Amino acid sequence: MQTLLRELEAIVGSAHVLTQGDLSAWTQDWRKRTHGKALAVVRPGNTDEVARVVKTCASYRAQHPESAVSIVPQGGNTGLVVGSTPDDSGQQLVLSLHRMNAVRVVDGANLTMTVEAGCILQTVQERAQAAGFWYPLSLAAEGTCTIGGTLGTNAGGTQVLRFGNAREQCLGLEVVTPQGDVWQGLSGLRKDNTGYDLKNLYIGAEGTLGIITAATLKLYPLPKAQLTAWAAVPSLEAAVTLLGLAQQHLSASLTGFELMGQFALSLVAKHFASLRVPLYAHNAFCVLLENADSESETHARQQLEGLLEVALEQGCVTDAVVAESLAQAQALWQIRESIPLAQVQEGLNIKHDISVPVSAMVAFVKDTDAQLAQAIPGVRLVNFGHLGDGNLHYNVQAPEGHDAAAFLRKQEPQVNTIVFDSVMAHGGSISAEHGIGSLKVGHLAHYKSPVALQTMRAIKQALDPLNLMNPGRVLADSSHAFGETEPVDKGL
Ligand X SMILES: Cc1cc2nc3c(=O)[nH]c(=O)nc-3n(C[C@H](O)[C@H](O)[C@H](O)COP(=O)(O)OP(=O)(O)OC[C@H]3O[C@@H](n4cnc5c(N)ncnc54)[C@H](O)[C@@H]3O)c2cc1C
Positions touching ligand X (CB under 6 A) are 30, 72-80, 83-84, 97, 117, 139-141, 145-146, 148-150, 152-153, 155-157, 206-207, 211-212, 433-434, 437, 470, 473, 492
CB of 319 to ligand X, least distance (A): 27
User: Between 368 and 438, whose beta carbon lies closer to ligand X?
Assistant: 438
CB of 385 to ligand X, least distance (A): 9
User: Please, what is the angle between helix 236-250 and helix 361-375, to 10°?
Assistant: 160
CB of 323 to ligand X, least distance (A): 21
CB of 156 to ligand X, least distance (A): 4
Nearest to 432 by CA among 441, 421, 442, 423: 423
Nearest to 336 by CA among 103, 166, 492: 492
Closest residue by beta carbon to ligand X: 149
Contacts of 65 by beta carbon, 8 Å cutoff, 6+ apart: none
- Count other Cβ atoms within 10 Å, centred on residue 225: 18
User: Between 152 and 311, whose beta carbon lies closer to ligand X?
Assistant: 152
Give 86's Cβ-side CA count (13 Å radius): 26
In DSSP notation, 422-472 reads HHHHTT-BS-SSS--TTTTHHHHHHHS-HHHHHHHHHHHHHH-TT--BSTT
Evaluate whether 381 touches 284 at the Cβ level (below 8 Å): no
CB of 160 to ligand X, least distance (A): 8
User: Between 27 and 84, whose beta carbon lies closer to ligand X?
Assistant: 84
User: Between 76 and 428, whose beta carbon lies closer to ligand X?
Assistant: 76
- Count other Cβ atoms within 10 Å, centred on residue 16: 18
In DSSP notation, 258-287 reads EEEEHHHHHHHHHH-TTS---S-TT-SEEE
Alpha helices in 274-360 (DSSP H): 297-314, 326-346
Spatial distance between the Cα atoms of 223 and 200, rounded to a whole number of angstroms: 28
Evaluate whether 233 touches 242 at the Cβ level (below 8 Å): yes
CB of 375 to ligand X, least distance (A): 29
User: Between 293 and 353, whose beta carbon lies closer to ligand X?
Assistant: 353
Q: Is 178 exposed, middle or buried (0-12, 13-18, 19+ CB in 10 A)?
A: buried
Query: At 67, which helix (H) or strand (E)?
Result: none
User: Between 317 and 358, whose beta carbon lies closer to ligand X?
Assistant: 358
Nearest to 421 by CA among 432, 430, 412: 430
User: Between 395 and 411, whose beta carbon lies closer to ligand X?
Assistant: 395
- Count other Cβ atoms within 10 Å, centred on residue 448: 17
User: Between 71 and 307, whose beta carbon lies closer to ligand X?
Assistant: 71
User: Between 84 and 397, whose beta carbon lies closer to ligand X?
Assistant: 84
Distance of CA 189 to the CA centre of its chain: 26
CB of 403 to ligand X, least distance (A): 26
User: Between 142 and 293, whose beta carbon lies closer to ligand X?
Assistant: 142
CB of 29 to ligand X, least distance (A): 8
CB of 99 to ligand X, least distance (A): 12
CB of 80 to ligand X, least distance (A): 5
